[in-house]
Structure 1
Amino acid sequence: LNLRKPPGSITIIGGGAVGVEYAFVFSALGSEVHLVEKSENVLAGMDDDVRLGVKRSLIKHGVKLHLNDQVNSITKNSDGVVVETLKTRIESEIALVAIGRKPATDKLGVENAGIKTDNKGFIIVNEYLETSNPHYFAVGDVIGHPMLAHKAIYQSLVAAENMAGKKIAFRKLIPFIVYSIPFAGGVGAVPSKDDVATGRVRIARFGYHGLAMAHIEDGVDGFLKIVYNDKHEVIGAHAIGPETDMIIAALTIAIEKKLTLEEIGEVIYPHPSMSEALRESVLIGLEKPIHTVVFRK
């Protein structure tokens, strides 16, 4: 972030949220971008369809992906850096290593206060965010994944209440947004193929080609996927496209409050808006679609 101007080329090592977001940033600024990721796709841990959508968008924006690959060495030369991987050799002006973060607790002297850490250095807390020393609380990145600002903000509120004598447990769903182009994100259950095949969970997926605002926002390749149980309660949601952050926020409320497909479908949504994807998705789950054809088995 201290660069005076965008580099002509950059190699990003790591296909997590940070690596992907910077790949889009530098691509938009005109840099030639290489992204190296050891997995078969970017954004491990997210919904597979969302991951595929982000991968396609990276390629569309000119990012050169090196998947199922691993870095052997990084060396400097007169022109910049050379990244040697298992499969290829990449020359670029600069390299960005985005393969994770570790807590900086080793220099805090927390052990002097009787505060325990795990084998990676993260501070251990209970459900009330108390450390092993009940006079100290810890929140945010220092207590482990997910390392997200909105998690830390909410935890700080819970910790403050508990410092004042209350006993509030932190057991909240944590939505996850990747600020890619377009935004991608999810919250709650991430179903596997086995989960769906065995009927443990059900999925209602709505493609944005049937949404007016998606055409206005150039987001027709996106979708919303709602995961629900046999009671029709929403237990997960995953999306890629315009206003994904707002859609996932709304469905976080739905999961927290155990709303059903029927209850979400009863709401009137403004037209045209991306919020209409909420109704369209649940109506697919209820086999009452308006703008999508559902083929019954």
Structure 2
Amino acid sequence: MAYVGRFAPSPTGPLHFGSLITAVASYCDARAHNGKWLVRIEDTDIPRIYPGSEDHILRCIDAFQFEADDAIIFQKDRLDLYDAIINQLHKNHLVYACQCTRKMLGSNHIYAGTCRDLNLPFEQQAIRVRVSDQEICFSDRLQGTHCSNLQQDLGDFVLKRRDGIINYQLAVVVDDYLQGMTHVVRGADLLDNTERQIWLGSILGYPKLKYMHLPLAMNDQGQKLSKQNMAQALDLNRAPELLQQAIRALHQPEVDLDTPAHMLKQAIAQWDIQHIPHTKELEGTYL
């Protein structure tokens, strides 16, 4: 099977050093396998789009000299497509409308199936997918075997919110399929989403993917680098230096400080995932 991978940031803020680690790892892994590397902007949660962040993502791609193998897609341009998939699931009785609010659900994170058999109309309601009482396992290339029983651990989960926003779980599964993905390289903070996505892909008849969840870069407060934790935006004037630091963070062999394109070429030639820590967090702290 030909390798197709991707970098799929969300524009809820500018890219930071943790994002760069993911971009480097996904790019090098794809190129080391003579595969394709695509870029997707995951912007279905339109109210949370941070002004200017989509432009910053595109400028980062250029500054670090990553070369995508196809046009960049934006999920907010594909909302009708996701609605069509929900309609397909509805016809097969795999989803249902849910009127439960967060207040009604309280602190219980496992959905009890309250609306499962009420046959509520779909208009202005959340849409949930039915899950079954079975264990789902996958073998992560870094993190090892990971398992979850969705019914016991989570319950039926939302594909479309009451306000009409398409959930990340649906959009990522549909687009990974339509773009022909074979491999997913992303941060370990998304590890617990994987069983949900495997379940959704299975009921849609999509082929299985191979996953690699990278250890997360942490700040000096013991928090993962994220937009919510005010991680610094990547300084595009320091692209070679930051790229070298990201390659080091992944414990890859040293590369010469040069143009980003030359550095990436060197990193690809030396790429070995066995050097990446098989943990959920990187040692040390990062800005």
Q: With the length of structure 1 as denominator, give the TM-score of the two structures.
A: 0.26
Q: Which has the higher contact order (CA 8 A, sep 6+)?
A: 2
Q: With the length of structure 2 as denominator, give the TM-score of the two structures.
A: 0.27
More helix by percentage: 2
